[in-house]
Amino acid sequence: MSGPRAYWLDRSENVSKIYRGLWLFGLALLAVDLALHKHEDFAFAAWFGFYCLFGFFACVVLVLVAKRLRGVLMRAEDYYER
Amino acid sequence: MSADFPVALVFLLGAVVVPLLHGRLRTAWMLLLPVAAFACLLTLPLGESGQVELLGQTLVLMRVDRLSLLFGYVFVLASLLNVIYALHLKDTVQHVAGLVYAGSSIGAVFAGDLMTLFIHWELTAVSSVLLIWAQRSDSSFRTGLRYVLVQLLSGMFLLAGALLHWRTTGSLAFGQIGLSGPAGVLILIAFGIKCAFPLLHNWLQDAYPAATPTGAVILSAFTTKLGIYALARAYPGTEMLIWVGTLMAAFPIFYAVIENDLRRVLAYSMNNQLGFMVVGIGIGSELAINGAVAHAFADILFKGLLFMSMGAVLLRTGTVKGSELGGLYKSMPWTTGFCMVGAASISAFPLFSGFVTKSMIMSAAAGEGLLLTWLVLLFASAGVFHHAGIKIPYFAFFGHDSGIRCQEAPRNMLVAMAIGAALCIGIGVFPQALYAILPYAVSYQPYSASHVVAQLQLLVFSALAFAVLMRTGIYPPELRSVNLDSDWFYRVLFASWAQRATDALQQARATFGRMLRSTGGRLYARIHRHHGPQGSLARTWPTGSMALWVTTMLLAWLALYYLP
């Protein structure tokens, strides 16, 4: 038996590479807004970076609100069995 | 086979034979049934057939139009994938229940009148609960009981509504009903339970995670989409549905973020996807209805695929709790890949199925100028990527390595997942194939530069939000817990009321009993005093005293007689 196989993702610097890559990709997509004029039914949706900001902050708000909800809604796993 | 043969019977009669067959013969038979049903569908002429006279009513077993055919196709397709996915099982109950459930759902889709719909509606409830009870544990038994009660309640609403509809209109035909009378309201409640409207939704999150690994996959395909079909048939363009759907698309994603059971996360995200479809039906334009039913078609495939991947994880590791899993890509690379295809599809990445179906609903909402709805749906689109697209694969297959090392999923499961994944990508790449079978002609073009870029921006920045929150430690960890939802009302509040009422009744009974006993005791004592052995009224009197009294009375009479 050889030792446990080493995986590329096990190394934290590789995870950081993915993280940085994702930022680069995101910023590149943001840059596309400079060149591309979007056709939108609502005029504000065609603003520069609308979808980027909306996507980012929607998720941050979602997580922060959900985290707060835990304080109200979370119970022990056997709550209903007791 | 005759053209008016009800397709549902292929499954219902076929299922009867399954217990008699064993081994490869059973495998072959179960694979043959969906194939035969599909062949049957291809030969169906449009129009109504299979009329049966019953109690002075004409029941229409087969009403074939573009809407029912679309759902017929996808239900048959789903049943084929489900059969393949469950082939490794030796459990006859689940095999038979799965086929009867598929058959009754198909029967309901082709039902041309409300009575035929009702019969199939109830059959889906009764057959599907077996997929929960097949888990054979005490808690799944109780969950199944709750599930089937809710489903049968939906049936009761449907029956009451149908009879009222018949009384007022004189017809049982299942067509546009609308909200004009009480019958329409009752039937809408029946459909709303199946579609998991807000506050009527919790049976879904309660029951699906309790089903067997294969059972949850089968459940995810039929009941809710049958509700969507029925809604699209009877209530297109009902404005109230826009608001119901908007709410449905938004609130479950908050639950999905904090839920630990990954199959329950999927149940919440299903609720959210149903919201998109309900909005589409509420808008009611050709584009919106097309979008709603196309999204139902795509959802059956990608949600099935996601449930399949979680079922495989449950089968191999014994749990689907986010807090226990992680790093499974090392043991289950294929399952990981298929799960990610499902995740990309539900998140509506370009080239995956959700992109070409969900955007029709979004576009219809924007076209109607529904600003609030559009913004909420956009929020829900970002959110669904967050909790279903990233959270599910991340906590199960990547993230913190749980140290669990297991086998890859059985081969039949991988085959089913592969076909599901291929269909998700196929629809995303060649949307025209799906568009061609939609109820109305499609002129919508999903692949414009502005749409692709906008969607990628939305999704990539949602992913960045996840990554930032994860790396800064703000993201809430997966915790072993349950979150209160509307089922709390009937599992805790109503139950405690019922308990209190029972206690009060028992107390009243005991008090009444005590009162009765003490009153009775006093009454007895009094009777005993007067009539008992020592009682004055029960004494035996000597004959002499009798004679004395008679003499006294005679003397008194004599005295009175001689008085003037």
Domain containing A44 equals 8-73
- Whether the per-residue pLDDT at B486 is higher than 80: the answer is yes
* Strand duo B57-64 + B47-54: pairing: antiparallel
Contacts of B465 in chain A (CB under 8 A): 55-60, 63
Sorted by sequence, the CB contacts under 8 Å of residue B104 that are 6+ apart come out as: B8, B11, B12, B120, B123, B124, B127
Whether the pLDDT of residue A2 is over 70: the answer is no
Measured distance CA(B487)–CA(A16) in Å, rounded: 42
Distance CA B290, CA B495 (A): 43
Which of A7, A23, A54 has the CB atom closest to B378's CB atom?
A54
Identify the pLDDT of residue B1: 46
pTM here? 0.89
**pLDDT score recorded for residue B532:** 80
Determine, for residues A33 and B457 on separate chains, whether the beta-carbon distance falls below 8 Å: yes
Q: Which residues contact B293 (CB under 8 A, 6 or more apart)?
A: B67, B70, B71, B228, B229, B232, B277, B280, B438, B439
Q: How far is CA B297 from CA B220, B226, B292, B294, in A?
A: 12, 11, 9, 5
B493 touches chain A (CB under 8 A): no
CA distances from residue B210 to B28, B130, B213, B368, B555 in whole angstroms, order as listed: 29, 11, 9, 40, 98
CB-CB: which of B398, B450, B466 is closest to A36? Answer: B450
Q: What is the tens place of the pLDDT at every residue in B115-154?
A: 999 999 999 999 999 999 998 899 899 999 999 999 999 9
Helix intervals (H) in A12-74: 12-35, 50-73
Chain B residues near residue A37 by CB distance under 8 angstroms? 450
Summarize pLDDT for B499-524 with one digit per residue, the tens: 999 999 999 999 999 999 999 999 99
Half-sphere exposure of A9 (CA within 13 A, CB side): 13
The total number of structural domains that make up chain A: 1
Q: How does residue A79 score in pLDDT terms, banded at 50, 70 and 90?
A: confident
pLDDT band at A38 (very low <50, low <70, confident <90, very high): confident
pLDDT of A34: 87
A46: number of Cβ within 10 Å: 17
Work out the minimum CA distance from B207 to partner chain A, whole angstroms: 14
pLDDT band at B2 (very low <50, low <70, confident <90, very high): low
Amino acid in position B114: L
Q: Whole-angstrom Cα distance, residue B292 to residue B273?
A: 10
Query: Rounded distance, CA B159 to CA B157, Å?
Result: 5
Mark out the alpha helices in B324-410 (DSSP H runs). Answer: 333-346, 353-367, 371-384, 392-397
pLDDT score of B535: 75
> Token pair for residue B96?
């038979």
**Using a CB-CB distance cutoff of 8 angstroms, which residues of chain B are in contact with residue A25?**
460
Q: Which of A67-81, B94-108, B321-335 has the lowest mean pLDDT?
A: A67-81
**% of chain B at pLDDT higher than 70:** 99
> What span, in angstroms and rounded, lies between the C-alpha atoms of B466 and B383?
10
Query: Given this model, what pLDDT does residue A3 score?
Result: 59
